[in-house]
Amino acid sequence: MRGKTLKRSLLAAVLISMAASGASAEDRPKSAAAAFGATFCLMKDNPPGADLMVLVTPSLADEITKALAKNDEIQKAHPDEKPPLGDGIPFQSYPDVSPKCEVGKVEGEGAGAVVEIRHGFPEAPSADYSDRIVLGEGWTRGTLGIDDVLYGEKGGGGTLRKTLAEAFE
């Protein structure tokens, strides 16, 4: 129940923040998948204040937890070396946080929806890129969560799940 309440609170926060920032009705997410993408953008830009783990599916949370445990083992065994996940969980193609994040094209609705996340660098537009988040069944029935991240506009840059699996090979 706590997860469902938290996710509803996050969605409400997105809509309230958009209203407070003067977003018009045309700017507001038109679907739950688009609102989820907007929440992702808000949270990824504030890692100390919000943990993206609340947005992932139970299945992806399990994979991340296992990967972080392996990462901790490596860190303890080699404290002077940067472990494979030394920059954190790669929820985006590149570790640098982009100053601009917005929802692009949304394909589908509910579990299985794919939401484009556009990362922008106004000072260097040639550095802009897009990733796509794949939504899956959340922690409680009827909720959504991030089930994977497809790196790159077409997903040809790999995926979050694949990166986690290969980080320790």
Q: Where are the chain's structural domains?
A: 2-166
SS3 (DSSP) at 46: coil
pLDDT digits (tens, 9 = 90+) for 43-100: 766 554 447 778 899 999 999 999 999 999 999 999 999 999 988 889 999 888 888 9
pLDDT digits (tens, 9 = 90+) for 96-145: 888 899 999 999 998 999 999 999 999 999 999 999 999 999 888 888 89
Tokens, residue 118: 């556009």
CA angle (138, 94, 144) in 5-degree steps: 10
